[in-house]
Amino acid sequence: MNPIHALPSYLEPEGVGSWGVFLQQVDRATSTLGELAYLVETLKRPKRILIVDIPIKLDDGRVAHFEGYRVQHNTSRGPGKGGVRFHQDVCLSEVMALAGWMSIKNAVIGVPFGGAKGGVRVDPRQLSEPELERLTRRYTSEIGIVIGPDKDIPAPDVNTNEKIMAWMMDTYSMMHGATSTAVVTGKPLSLGGSRGRRDATGRGVFVCGRTAAAKIGLPIAGARVCVQGFGNVGNAAARCFAEAGAKLIAVQTVEGTLHNPAGIDVAKLGAHQDARRPLGEFAGATLIPDAAFWEIESEFLIPAALENQVTAANAGRIRTRVLLEGANGPTTPEADDLLAANGIVVVPDVIANAGGVTVSYFEWVQDISSYFWTEEEVNGRLDKIMSDAFNGLWEAAAAARVTLRTAAFTLACRRILEARHLRGLYP
């Protein structure tokens, strides 16, 4: 590598990790960038990385310390945008990759945001609600120097929700002496949230699946669907498919894997989970070994959990027509190649799960204008934006004879780097 472009040690692509996967994906698109290729190093270096210490007082009087992150990958096209996750395995490499994928996602879908992401290394199940609120507020105060409605707008992600967004919004507002609803998205409706936001990511997965199915002549009615992860995204996607006549035949969560070839009642499974009952007690399906999940024959497979779930170890056993990435980064580059060789259409995360950020954009617009839309308006605009973006991506992939992921990265990288080129360097 040319020493003038040598990466800082914490950005080296060697080794296993989400950031390494992101760099490989950028490298695969580099040869298509033409005159903009001279700027590709911009995509391999996050614009800003903030690591913060989060001390909080626990209910028993002890002081505990947690590590938090906010990474702004690129803001050439607009303010940073990306969620905040609370998870015991959060690390800098993961947050950097998630921020990078947000840059790509926002450029692919065409919303005027850059990419950012945040996280706190904590198991929120080990905290009481007052402790969780103190953690959220202290984290917000620590990253408050880099977020704002026109700088970087956080949103919910793994283990964060509307309540946590409300605490973040309130903390930022108190710090600035005025209510600022547009500083975060995914808020409760009464605090400037958008109708349709809660189901937006899962609905977007369905829109992409429906559009992809039309391209290959695959009917939705009667189609078999397998979902990994039955949280906000997996649940909403399963409901949308069921409403369109498909049947959910397998669900995998951290508790195990359920299977019923005749179909699983999505509403009943959702109610079972909401009641916090063990997965094994669900009467509408049978528990099977987790490894068997990847071998179930289906028309749609939706990994909607965490990164690096579809790998070279299991990709060859997958028997589906369309793989819809509801999670961020669930498929490794090696697995991508195996899936493509087996004729499986992979709809990459950077468009498949972009429904969430699309409606987050709608929420941000509504907050700034103080004019709010109906759920029908939100869903209609989401459907059009995602359908149009997918159709354009499909055509680009077909013309270049590449996968949808390579086409997505090519399109997004060009949009980001064109903005960087036109803006120039300051000073």
With respect to residue 303, please indicate whether it lies within any of the assigned structural domains: yes
Residue 281 has pLDDT above 80, yes or no: yes
Judgement on whether residues 244 and 165 belong to the same structural domain of the protein = no
Section 370-391 average pLDDT: 96
Report pLDDT digits (tens) over 287-296.
999 999 999 9
Report the CATH number that the domain containing residue 131 is assigned in CATH: 3.40.50.10860
With respect to residue 362, please indicate whether it lies within any of the assigned structural domains: no
Residues that are catalytic? 117
Judgement on whether residues 168 and 210 belong to the same structural domain of the protein = no
Query: By three-state DSSP, how is residue 7 classified?
Result: coil
With respect to residue 221, please indicate whether it lies within any of the assigned structural domains: yes
Residue 122 has pLDDT above 60, yes or no: yes
With respect to residue 191, please indicate whether it lies within any of the assigned structural domains: no
Domain that holds residue 109: 46-179
Residue 335 has pLDDT above 70, yes or no: yes
Judgement on whether residues 211 and 301 belong to the same structural domain of the protein = yes
Judgement on whether residues 142 and 208 belong to the same structural domain of the protein = no
Single residue among 179, 213, 233 that ends a domain in this structure: 179
> Which pLDDT does position 299 carry in this prediction?
97
Judgement on whether residues 252 and 132 belong to the same structural domain of the protein = no
> Which pLDDT does position 4 carry in this prediction?
54
Single residue among 352, 377, 407 that ends a domain in this structure: 352
Mean pLDDT, the chain, rounded, equals 93
Distances, alpha carbon 344 to alpha carbons 56, 168, 237, 337, 394, in Å = 48, 41, 19, 10, 14
Residue 338 has pLDDT above 50, yes or no: yes
Query: What's the number of domains the chain is made of?
Result: 2
Report pLDDT digits (tens) over 30-74.
988 999 999 999 999 999 999 999 999 999 999 999 999 999 999
Residue 153 has pLDDT above 90, yes or no: yes
Give the predicted TM-score (pTM) of the model. Answer: 0.91
The encoded tokens of residue 278 equal 């063990």
Judgement on whether residues 209 and 88 belong to the same structural domain of the protein = no
H helices present in 37-177, as ranges: 92-109, 129-143, 162-176
Judgement on whether residues 116 and 253 belong to the same structural domain of the protein = no
Judgement on whether residues 239 and 343 belong to the same structural domain of the protein = yes
What share of the chain has pLDDT > 70, as a percent? 96
Amino acid sitting at position 420? R
What share of the chain has pLDDT > 90, as a percent? 88
Which of the four pLDDT bands, split at 50, 70 and 90, describes residue 17?
confident
Judgement on whether residues 243 and 328 belong to the same structural domain of the protein = yes
Which residues, at least 6 apart from 160, have a Cβ–Cβ distance to it below 8 Å?
83, 84, 85, 86
Distances, alpha carbon 300 to alpha carbons 31, 226, 310, 325, 417, in Å = 31, 6, 14, 10, 34
Section 169-181 average pLDDT: 97
Single residue among 352, 383, 403 that ends a domain in this structure: 352
Section 73-87 average pLDDT: 97
Section 336-356 average pLDDT: 95
Q: In what order do the strands lie in the sheet with 114-121?
A: 48-57, 63-74, 114-121, 80-87, 152-156
Judgement on whether residues 231 and 346 belong to the same structural domain of the protein = yes
Judgement on whether residues 242 and 100 belong to the same structural domain of the protein = no
With respect to residue 41, please indicate whether it lies within any of the assigned structural domains: no
With respect to residue 400, please indicate whether it lies within any of the assigned structural domains: no
With respect to residue 348, please indicate whether it lies within any of the assigned structural domains: yes
Distance between CA atoms of residues 250 and 248, nearest Å: 6
With respect to residue 11, please indicate whether it lies within any of the assigned structural domains: no
Distance between CA atoms of residues 235 and 247, nearest Å: 13
Judgement on whether residues 175 and 206 belong to the same structural domain of the protein = no
The encoded tokens of residue 258 equal 């359920």
Distance between CA atoms of residues 206 and 356, nearest Å: 12
Report the CATH number that the domain containing residue 261 is assigned in CATH: 3.40.50.720
